[in-house]
Amino acid sequence: MPNESAWPSHWFLKRKGEALLRQLSLTPFNSEELSAMDHAELSVRLEQLDRIQDQFESTQSQLEEEDPNEMETSTRDEFAATFIRAKAAFTRELNKMDPQFMSSTRNPPPQEQSSVIVVKQPKSRLPQLQLPSFGGAYTEWPNVLVIFQTVVHNDTEQSNLEKFQHLRSCLKGAAMDTIQSLEIRDENYIIALDLLVQRFDNRRLIFQAHIQELFGLHWMSADKKSGELRVLVDKVVSHVRALQSLGTSDQIADFLLQYITAQKLDALTHTLWEEKVPAEKLPTWTNMATFLNRRFQTLENMTHAMVTQTPSA
């Protein structure tokens, strides 16, 4: 935990890091916005991404030196995932305009070095080519998929067999079990990736996992330890941001009501609700209220039928 004299600097570095992350998040990198830019604007924005990344690395490193607890937060992972997506999008768009762009940035001829825009490798603490490990946690899947697609799947220079080996190298636990039976063959790469997407790319389960982790955080143990409290706050912010990326404020509120209500249901009713709702969609509170009303009516009808069928004395 940082000493009291370090807190003003700690606060400033924390706010600066968050500002840089927001600036990166606001960078336009969907295909429609990129297609409206010319080569010059794309090149300048690509250079700006590198500057933001350099500033973030410096800021985050200073922050972690002052408070080692910052190394336990997801800030670096969030920044890296967004940075990779943005830089890959700009690079692909530039390559469409100039097919020689990628090769020239990797190995520019001596006479052209002064006019070539060099794409620097990110200087993240985790190297760009080091894939994250994934064991089956739904909350981790979206970032893992984005990074894998950017670093490996979209790399046209690698064969499917190489991509399959990279895929297996970053899996463990339930994730590895999903594709364990597939032989390491070129044609099985796409099958393996599809199996993982079908298993873990589930919007509702990802949403639910974030809410479960939010409700599972323990605050009492951190009431007198500011460092531990900071970690808890960061976890809350991380989960809330993830929820906001998955649904609207109304959907989040609806799902919170459903989650709280579901914890009060008997096991059979809870099971029937889970079976009724499509796993890949976010149900509304109205969906649950309608289900519960129908369930209560069924139980009342059954109770009434049993009473009327009981022979009188």
Tokens 């700690």 appear where? 10
Q: Which domain holds residue 270?
A: 202-308
Q: Which two tokens stand for residue 113?
A: 């070095």
Residue where a domain terminates, one of 105, 125, 145: 125
Neighbours of 189 (CB within 10 A): 25
Residue where a domain terminates, one of 78, 104, 125: 125
> Across the chain, what does the average pLDDT equal?
77
For the chain, give the percent of residues with pLDDT over 90. Answer: 18
pLDDT band at 195 (very low <50, low <70, confident <90, very high): very high
Contact 293, 269 (CB under 8 A): no
313 inside domain: no
Spatial distance between the Cα atoms of 136 and 172, rounded to a whole number of angstroms: 8
Tokens 């969609």 appear where? 281
More confidently predicted of 117 and 222 = 222
150 inside domain: yes
**Residue of 191, 192, 240, 241 whose CA lies nearest to 214:** 240
DSSP string, the chain: ---GGGHHHHHHHHHHHHHHHHHHHTS--SHHHHHTS-HHHHHHHHHHHHHHHHHHHHHHHHHHHH-GGGGGSSHHHHHHHHHHHHHHHHHHHHHHH-TTHHHHHHS--GGGGGG----PPP--SS-TTSPPPB-S-TTTHHHHHHHHIIIIIT-TTS-HHHHHHHHHHTB-HHHHHHHTTS-S-TTHHHHHHHHHHHHH--HHHHHHHHHHHHHT---GGGTT-HHHHHHHHHHHHHHHHHHHHHS-HHHHHHHHHHHHHHTTS-HHHHHHHHHHS-TTS---HHHHHHHHHHHHHHHHHHHHHHHHHSPP-
Spatial distance between the Cα atoms of 300 and 294, rounded to a whole number of angstroms: 10
pLDDT band at 167 (very low <50, low <70, confident <90, very high): very high
Residue where a domain terminates, one of 78, 100, 125: 125
Q: Are residues 273 and 225 in the same domain?
A: yes
Please give the single-letter amino acid code of residue 230: R
What tens digit of pLDDT does each residue of 214-244 get? Answer: 887 765 554 555 566 667 777 788 788 888 8
Q: Are residues 181 and 220 in the same domain?
A: no
Contact 205, 166 (CB under 8 A): no
Q: Are residues 183 and 83 in the same domain?
A: no
38 inside domain: yes
What tens digit of pLDDT does each residue of 276-291 get? Answer: 887 667 888 999 999 9
